[in-house]
Structure 1
Amino acid sequence: MNLAEILKNKIEKSPSQVAIGHSRKGRPIHYNFFDYGEELRAYILAMQTLGIKHGDRVAIMGSNSLEWHLTDLSLMMMGAISIPIYPNTIDSEVIEIVENTGADYFFCQDKQQYSQIKKVAQKVQQFILFEEELQTTDIPKNISFLSDLLAQSKNQELPTFSEISNYTSPDDTATIVYTSGTTDISKAVMFPQSALVAFLENIAIFMEGKITTKDCSLSHLPLSHILGRCDSLLHLSLDSHVFFGNGTTSFINDLSATKPSFFITVPRILEKMKERIENHIAAKGLLFKKLYETNRAISKNYHSKIASGQGPSTLEKQAYIYSQKYFFKPIKDQISPHIRFIVSGGAPLSKSLFYFFQDLGIPILEGYGLTETLGPCTFNPFEKPKAASVGIPLPHTEIEIDDDGEILIKSPSIFSQYLSGEYDDAEFTDDGFFKTGDIGHLDEDNYLYITDRKKDLIITSGGKNVAPQKIEVLMCERPHISQFMVVGDKKKYLSGLVGISKENFRELFEDGLLKSHLSVEELASRVGIQELIQMEIDDVNKLLPKYEQIRHFRILPIDITDNRQFMTPSGKVKKARLYNKFTALVDSMYHD
């Protein structure tokens, strides 16, 4: 079985079922599986006309779009190797990726992106733009446009899916994906065709009977990120269809337009949604806020009774149903009137976010995986999601905990090797389990909990082992702290680097307590802001044992929220890079 055969079976079984959708000039357009297949056949012929062959390495760099997805999938179906690149990658890093991977072909978005990385055109055999808007007198001969390639193939005979199914074998490399580099070292991870098929089959088994043809997901995470990429392929194994939005920046507008029943996202997006809803509630006045708190208490009580196994009484059930129908439904409808659940991954989900959406009647199903595992290898079940847990293993996936607490994984969707060398034995146990580098444990129900990254563990000079992730998640739940990085390895006590954003102080700007023109650097130096952050850190310290408490902190002089130099696309801090940049700030907390 390969990707082409999976799609061939879908087309034969349900040709008129909706497969995908996207927006063109503000108007939603949907494709059924038959038309979707025709588009892919045309793309494959266009790629072949361009000269792309089996085994050729092809880079794709661009914003989320239907063209991005069709290019990616058609390349993998025809046996070429797709290499996604984040759209905001600087030109020197793009050139390095092209040279390291040996990419001969390069797809990019438009003239704006081309102008930023035009040196790359000199490094590849062919450079192709998705959008035909390049107006310059010195267009290199190796530049072409996707629309022209598709037009050239229009009157030619398209390859059949029976033919396309023979283009690849299970061991052929389908894609090379770069890790996010939280330790400042990105690795190029190679996946065979069989890994993608195994991922889709595992998801199909786990979700059997829970997703129907009425379900629609909204794809908004970067398609260059492993989570967004997996999201873009789910319609091949599930009965739902996927709508390709315009990325995270237009996510709220896309939600309103598409009204999905579920979507896959990261905690940073959920935090912004929570803030938006809470601001809406606050704007309705004190009485409405009191009603909100009362209805949340009803929901909390209902769910706590279920979690304890005790079960709610008839009166409590009726109160919950009434609360959901008459109070929370209008709030849910702001997200989507059809929303059933939300999937979270890519970074740790705080308990407060889990319970907030649960109280609204929207369960968050958190999953866990790494680039090397091709996305999720554990997932919270619909029937009983647990806060702070990343769920149970997917089918055909084994999870073990090593003696030092490291999480070990064995799965058919595991990567084949790193681009830098052969299958690295140092990354695997003798019996074939992948060493994730994450620390965690399994509970009595086989739910997995992540404690921290093994490399991030802190050992104080007093010999105390500290897992900083728990502290950092608690800190980021405070209203004015965007990011928090615990430091203190080999030191007497723990300290922290605090990331702030002007967005977090909006109420102070609106009330005239702060001038709106103040920069983040100016905010960070204000005594009042430092006192506010100190109060929030003190609140968290009360929840921690003494050796885990934060004694000193420094506020970063820049907003790193959307800064790819210091943040991964899924919202995790690149700790090594941040530490190296602000070593002086860290040192200033340890004068004694």
Structure 2
Amino acid sequence: MRDAAPPHPMVPPPTGGLADSVFETAALDPTRPLLARRPDTTSSVWEHVSALELRDEVVGLAKGLVACGISPGHRVAVMARTRYEWTALCYALWAVGAEVVPIYPTSSREQVEWILGDAGCVAVVVEDEQSVMTVGSVCAALPRLRHVWQLDAGALEELAARGRFIPQATVDSLRRIVLPDSTAVVAYTSGTTGRPLGCALSHRNLASPCDTLLAGWGQTVAPPGEQGSVLAFLPFSHVYGLMIQTLCVRGGLLMGHQPDVSDEALTSALRSFRPTYFYAVPSVFEKIYKNFLRTAQQSGRGALFERAAETARDFAAACERQRLGEGPGPGFDLRLQHALYERTVYRRLRGALGGRVRRATSGGSTLNRELSLFYEGIGIYVHDGYGLTETSAAVTMQPLGREKSGTVGQALPGMDIRVADDGEILVRGPSVFQGYVGNEPASRAALRGGWLATGDLGRLDPEGYLTITGRKKDIIVTSSGKSVAPAALEHRLRMHPLIHQAVVVGDNRPCVGALITLDPDFLTHWRAHQSPQSDAPSREAREENALREEITRAVAAANSAVSRSESIRLFRVLPESFDLASGLLTPSMKLRRDVIVRTYALEIDAMYQARSRAGRTRVPDELTAWDEADNVFR
């Protein structure tokens, strides 16, 4: 008989608004550090901001907002990177009953104009002069917009100064009339298939999953007796980042802000801040793994790292079978190998994240099972959860002591999940949004009898573990009528260190193909380790052949997880990555599939035409199991 997961404590429903937690913590534990900031991004010294100091700053900013005419129900956009001022201003807005409208600082002029106009914002807070110019270029089309505040020009100091003569009782009165069902945030979807939609999220929507996670999983954030700490670097413009901010403040965790997410800056911040818990999206976990591998290879220890990584995955898989009641756990030899690599490899890898992280959370999309096992094997269990903007982020979580890699866990207490006959995931619970702002038809289409139609496809196993298989709108139907979900193939392709991005194509085509971009950092490293002998032309030809063979092996490895009819038969490596500037990524770094397919229509046509001309020519050995397979480099 399998042991049941430990019961979760009952979580009382939230009362009041989200800003109340700042005032309550300040009253109960005024010296408790809640936020951490640095005098500049290069400093290794973090200055702590206590609960009392944060409350006083929130009150000062709230008074300034009142002085500027910001009232309950007014919508104020925040267009900035993840920085201390974002949090202080966010809680000040909630304290006066205003609604926060997050905007990615990388958004285009058209996106900014759409969101500010659609939400009816009366003010916008931007980070720098460039953002001021972007907003300024669309102000004429936004008659409701009355204020543009720039953080780098002292906007918060200006607000606090303007509110000096507003009594604190005014702020207290406004805060007390904020109800749990008052709208706290209007968060816009990524807009992968059209105009972004504004999701109205209430204070209850955001508080409920955070309180549930703190009650059931809060003890995993730090060792007993220590205050948990989290380095916030993902954008607060995304609901995932907003949930982390809310969770930290409600749970009394220490949160540091890291606006620069370049590899060097993030690594430095992790080493100096030393968080006890790490949260990220799958692409970050993939990047960290590739950096581990590249660093090991550069130091001549690539083979050692690969053996250690394989042992980590084997060890984690054995532990998983044991906790699920399906095996005895790691054998003696495996435990011995694991202990050896713990002393020589794993603790150094954990040191790259500051040395104190033992658990982490991945969200935004599904984490590859092999990658999840790797991290668990080196001593950092990664909880892979599921959620979306319309559910205030969290819907599922891995049950403690019953974690199952490759799934996104089970429904959070209070949440219900169904899978419809067509495979679509339906969700119901306290975190489900209030509806799309100003778009009743879209709200009715998404909310069906109290259930949110997520647009995601998945399956539930007998124990309630959810596995995400793809997006309904992303399903590819080949000319033979075969339906293919591209997500699994793309995830497996990205696991190869040379591959940065992958888009599977094949709608109304005879077979499945892929557009691939290469990781520039790892490609440079890879080229540096190729043989330097012979003249330049022959060396370049040899490198191109070796690169083609390497990518072919990556495609074959991805194909091993699917049937022949779903496998990638041909691919093209593109010379440049998909990026924001070209409009091929959303501000949340999701692929705009339709735009990519249109942009690269000629390349896709050429790829299939080359396959047709080739006929049944010689097939690379790695792909012979999948009939004809062609690859086209460009």
Provide the residue aligned with 2:177 in structure 1. Answer: 167
Provide the residue aligned with 2:513 in structure 1. Answer: 495
Contact 1:406 1:438 in 2 (8 A): yes
Provide the residue aligned with 1:136 in structure 2. Answer: none
In the TM superposition, what is the alpha-carbon distance from 1:160 to its structure 2 partner? Answer: 7.7
Runs of at least 5 residues in structure 2 that lack an aligned partner in the other structure: 1-14, 533-539, 613-634
Query: Which has the larger displacement, 41-50 or 92-101?
Result: 92-101
In the TM superposition, what is the alpha-carbon distance from 1:44 to its structure 2 partner? Answer: 0.7
Provide the residue aligned with 1:455 in structure 2. Answer: 473
In the TM superposition, what is the alpha-carbon distance from 1:296 to its structure 2 partner? Answer: 4.7
Secondary structure at the counterpart of residue 24 of structure 1: coil
In the TM superposition, what is the alpha-carbon distance from 1:210 to its structure 2 partner? Answer: 3.1
Query: Which has the larger displacement, 393-402 or 72-81?
Result: 72-81
Q: Does 1:429 align with 2:448?
A: yes
- Structure 1 letter corresponding to 2:565: Y
CA distance in 2 between counterparts of 1:81 and 1:103 reads 9
In the TM superposition, what is the alpha-carbon distance from 1:227 to its structure 2 partner? Answer: 0.9
Provide the residue aligned with 1:204 in structure 2. Answer: 214
Contact 1:225 1:569 in 2 (8 A): no
Provide the residue aligned with 1:242 in structure 2. Answer: 255
CA distance in 2 between counterparts of 1:455 and 1:299 reads 33
Secondary structure at the counterpart of residue 482 of structure 1: strand
- Structure 2 letter corresponding to 1:235: C
CA distance in 2 between counterparts of 1:476 and 1:318 reads 30
Q: How does 1:212-223 map to 2 (within 5 A)?
A: 212=222, 213-223=226-236
- Structure 2 letter corresponding to 1:100: D
Match of 1:263 among 272, 278, 299: 278
Contact 2:211 2:247 in 1 (8 A): no
Q: Does 1:181 align with 2:199?
A: no
Q: How does 1:363-512 map to 2 (within 5 A)?
A: 363-422=381-440, 424-430=443-449, 432-511=450-529
Contact 1:131 1:146 in 2 (8 A): no
Match of 1:153 among 153, 163, 170: 163
Contact 1:49 1:153 in 2 (8 A): yes
Match of 2:152 among 114, 131, 137: 131
Provide the residue aligned with 1:280 in structure 2. Answer: 295
CA distance in 2 between counterparts of 1:125 and 1:324 reads 58
In the TM superposition, what is the alpha-carbon distance from 1:425 to its structure 2 partner? Answer: 2.1
Q: How does 1:50-61 map to 2 (within 5 A)?
A: 50-61=68-79
In the TM superposition, what is the alpha-carbon distance from 1:148 to its structure 2 partner? Answer: 1.6
In the TM superposition, what is the alpha-carbon distance from 1:364 to its structure 2 partner? Answer: 0.8
* Percent identity (aligned): 25
Provide the residue aligned with 1:81 in structure 2. Answer: 99
Contact 1:366 1:389 in 2 (8 A): yes
CA distance in 1 between counterparts of 2:404 and 2:340 reads 24
Provide the residue aligned with 2:53 in structure 1. Answer: 35
Secondary structure at the counterpart of residue 165 of structure 1: helix
Q: Does 1:589 align with 2:589?
A: no
- Structure 1 letter corresponding to 2:314: K
* TM-score with structure 1 setting the length: 0.89
In the TM superposition, what is the alpha-carbon distance from 1:339 to its structure 2 partner? Answer: 0.8
Q: Does 1:556 align with 2:574?
A: yes
Provide the residue aligned with 2:329 in structure 1. Answer: 312
Contact 1:41 1:159 in 2 (8 A): no
- Structure 2 letter corresponding to 1:221: L
Q: How does 1:281-300 map to 2 (within 5 A)?
A: 281-286=296-301, 289-290=303-304, 293=307, 296-297=310-311, 300=314
- Structure 2 letter corresponding to 1:311: P
Secondary structure at the counterpart of residue 364 of structure 2: coil
Cα RMSD after superposing both structures: 2.8
CA distance in 2 between counterparts of 1:435 and 1:351 reads 26
Provide the residue aligned with 2:204 in structure 1. Answer: 194
Provide the residue aligned with 1:110 in structure 2. Answer: 128
Q: Aligned in 2, Cα 1:152/1:542: closer, same or farther, shift over 3 Å?
A: closer
Q: Aligned in 2, Cα 1:211/1:351: closer, same or farther, shift over 3 Å?
A: closer
CA distance in 1 between counterparts of 2:329 and 2:124 reads 58
Provide the residue aligned with 1:142 in structure 2. Answer: none
Secondary structure at the counterpart of residue 499 of structure 1: strand
* TM-score with structure 2 setting the length: 0.84
Q: Over residues 260-304 of structure 1, what are the superposed CA-to-partner deviations in whole Å (9 max), with x where a residue is unaligned? A: 011211111112211221222223335x84376157526623641
Q: Aligned in 2, Cα 1:295/1:411: closer, same or farther, shift over 3 Å?
A: closer
Q: Over residues 290-348 of structure 1, what are the superposed CA-to-partner deviations in whole Å (9 max), with x where a residue is unaligned? A: 37615752662364144243333684686345643554212211221111112111122
Provide the residue aligned with 2:6 in structure 1. Answer: none
Secondary structure at the counterpart of residue 219 of structure 2: coil
Query: Which has the larger displacement, 554-563 or 388-397?
Result: 554-563
Q: Aligned in 2, Cα 1:443/1:161: closer, same or farther, shift over 3 Å?
A: farther
In the TM superposition, what is the alpha-carbon distance from 1:446 to its structure 2 partner? Answer: 1.2
- Structure 1 letter corresponding to 2:235: P
CA distance in 2 between counterparts of 1:40 and 1:550 reads 54
Query: Which has the larger displacement, 477-486 or 258-267?
Result: 477-486
Query: Which has the larger displacement, 574-583 or 157-166?
Result: 157-166
Q: Aligned in 2, Cα 1:540/1:70: closer, same or farther, shift over 3 Å?
A: same
In the TM superposition, what is the alpha-carbon distance from 1:505 to its structure 2 partner? Answer: 0.7
CA distance in 2 between counterparts of 1:492 and 1:582 reads 18
Contact 1:179 1:187 in 2 (8 A): yes
Q: Aligned in 2, Cα 1:350/1:121: closer, same or farther, shift over 3 Å?
A: same
- Structure 1 letter corresponding to 2:445: A
- How many aligned residue pairs are there? 572
CA distance in 2 between counterparts of 1:325 and 1:294 reads 11
Secondary structure at the counterpart of residue 388 of structure 1: coil
Secondary structure at the counterpart of residue 361 of structure 1: coil
Q: Aligned in 2, Cα 1:561/1:390: closer, same or farther, shift over 3 Å?
A: farther
Q: Over residues 397-455 of structure 1, what are the superposed CA-to-partner deviations in whole Å (9 max), with x where a residue is unaligned? A: 1111111111110011111111232272221233x110001111112221110001011
In the TM superposition, what is the alpha-carbon distance from 1:13 to its structure 2 partner? Answer: 2.7
Match of 2:371 among 346, 353, 359: 353
Query: Which has the larger displacement, 80-89 or 94-103?
Result: 94-103
Provide the residue aligned with 1:16 in structure 2. Answer: 31
CA distance in 1 between counterparts of 2:466 and 2:380 reads 22
Provide the residue aligned with 2:242 in structure 1. Answer: 229
In the TM superposition, what is the alpha-carbon distance from 1:184 to its structure 2 partner? Answer: 3.9
- Structure 2 letter corresponding to 1:58: V
Q: Over residues 63-93 of structure 1, what are the superposed CA-to-partner deviations in whole Å (9 max), with x where a residue is unaligned? A: 2211112112211231111111100112232
Q: Aligned in 2, Cα 1:544/1:454: closer, same or farther, shift over 3 Å?
A: same
Q: Over residues 136-187 of structure 1, what are the superposed CA-to-partner deviations in whole Å (9 max), with x where a residue is unaligned? A: xxxxxxxxx3322212334654348753431312332211111112324421
- Structure 2 letter corresponding to 1:360: I
Q: Over residues 27-48 of structure 1, what are the superposed CA-to-partner deviations in whole Å (9 max), with x where a residue is unaligned? A: 4111121221111111111111
CA distance in 1 between counterparts of 2:545 and 2:316 reads 43
